[in-house]
A and B are shown apart, each in its own frame.
Chain A
């Protein structure tokens, strides 16, 4: 009797184990199904390199180039801020910070990850955007630049935590070896520790990028939502995620616009899959050392 019960439970456990695969396939299948039916009516090339996103014009235009540019611009901007600051903070926390404040610093960095993105978006809208508008003397503070700053804050916890892990797991013999040769602490960090931790740090950067590209609410609230190709970082932009979130409510189920949004989701799915896959490869490499 007990044997049968055990068997059934183990079957359930196995089923739950493969459920992740089922979900990924389901999500992918769903996006592909709607996406392909969209591409049949509206060519995939026009979709990717088309400059105009006018879903309610007649005939409608579904070119997502401006949305891709928007996403990339905001992401690159966020990375320029978050990557150097994040890595430096990770080095300080793991190698230099006094023991007593190490955990406090770490918890404070992680605290940022707990703040909901809609709250970050709201604060960015009411406090940072007016500052940007006045400081740079531009018509609106809701720009790609503002979005980049807020998103940099959101990517920071990911970058710091994972880089810190990578730096901490550098074998102590490496460091002792360098010290024995008369290197200072900073020389050791720069020439030995950072090099040894590099795969983990790259993984951290990739995961940070993944977080920023997929971010929706904050971006939708701060970047101004103008679907055009911007000339500078101080103009409003619109990202792929924000387009989906903002327009899904207005579409007719099954209509061309509805399927176009699924096609954008498909593009996002591919991008984040690639980014996370690369991160995972580097993470695996840093663990195998």
Chain B
């Protein structure tokens, strides 16, 4: 076997690895490009604010946007406080006991459960057992359980990055544990927690499988009036119009995908910018 000169093989390797990196990032660029190119022509104010007409083949996607926003808003309202409290428990109170290890195992496990299984669970417990029916609240509860491990993990990271000296200084002044957390740790961890929350909002806005049987309606041309109403949802609407409706104009499907994509990406972008901003401002 020919033995390559180490310098030469290094050159080959670097070039090869560079190509692999390009292969890893090119798909997302292509996907975004395809959607923008085919979708932007159908985007108009009317498309965003009108009801769908003609069996969803024309008109707007307003109810789907409102539906998604209401589900996501409810979900984050439920999951954020619970997740932050759980993170506080794990980071500030829990000692290395069997219970703590079980909690961590449970979080890992929750994070790995497929989204469609959450959908089934939500259907069984919220829609059927608790009798909420297919509704915003059932979908939001399902999504909130699904997002809980992500919120806990990011909130824990944020709490963990607050230097221990802050806590010690406060405790040394005779301040109680909870007061220390409330007035010293939480304010310092807040930017990190909020960034995580925005990323979670972005992620659950695009989720389809968990709301498939818990919240989403096929076609419902009005705005929800209560949390117990069924709603149209943007990702589910995209699924429906791209697979179930014959003779659907392509540009409307692309435009719907574009709206969903922009919603998700702009929120992710806000979170990333916020993270950079807060990191620069941090005094420690």
Contact = CB atoms under 8 A, between A and B. Distances in A.
Contact of A24 (B18, B106, B178): B106
B238 interface: yes
A210 B108 CA distance: 12
A254 to B, nearest CB: 9
B21 interface: yes
Where chain B touches its partner, the secondary structure class is helix
B102 A111 contact: no
Contacts of B257: 119, 122-123
Interface string B201-215: 011011111001100
Contacts of B20: 84-85, 88-89, 92
Nearest to A20: B106
Report, as a range, how many residues of chain B touch the other chain: 35 or more
A214 interface: yes
A105 interface: yes
A92 B17 contact: yes
A37 interface: no
B239 A253 contact: no
B209 A114 contact: no
A91 B17 contact: yes
A120 B9 CA distance: 37
B42 interface: no
A187 B12 CA distance: 12
B116 A216 contact: yes
Interface residues of A, number: 86
A249 B10 CA distance: 56
Interface of A: 2-3, 6, 9-10, 12-21, 23-24, 26-27, 30-31, 34, 84-86, 88-89, 91-93, 96-97, 105, 107-109, 111-112, 114-123, 125-127, 153, 156, 160, 184-187, 189-190, 207, 210, 213-217, 221, 241, 244-245, 248-249, 253, 261-262, 265, 268-269, 272-273, 275-277, 279-280
Interface of B: 6-7, 9-10, 13-14, 16-18, 20-21, 23-25, 27-29, 31-32, 34-35, 81-83, 85-86, 88-90, 93-94, 99, 102-103, 105-121, 123-125, 128, 145, 148-149, 152, 176-179, 202-203, 205-209, 212-213, 235-236, 238-239, 242-243, 250, 253, 257, 260-261, 264-265, 268, 272
Given A97-B21, A276-B112, 10 more contacts: A3-B176, A13-B93, A17-B89, A26-B125, A84-B20, A88-B21, A108-B25, A109-B24, A116-B264, A217-B235
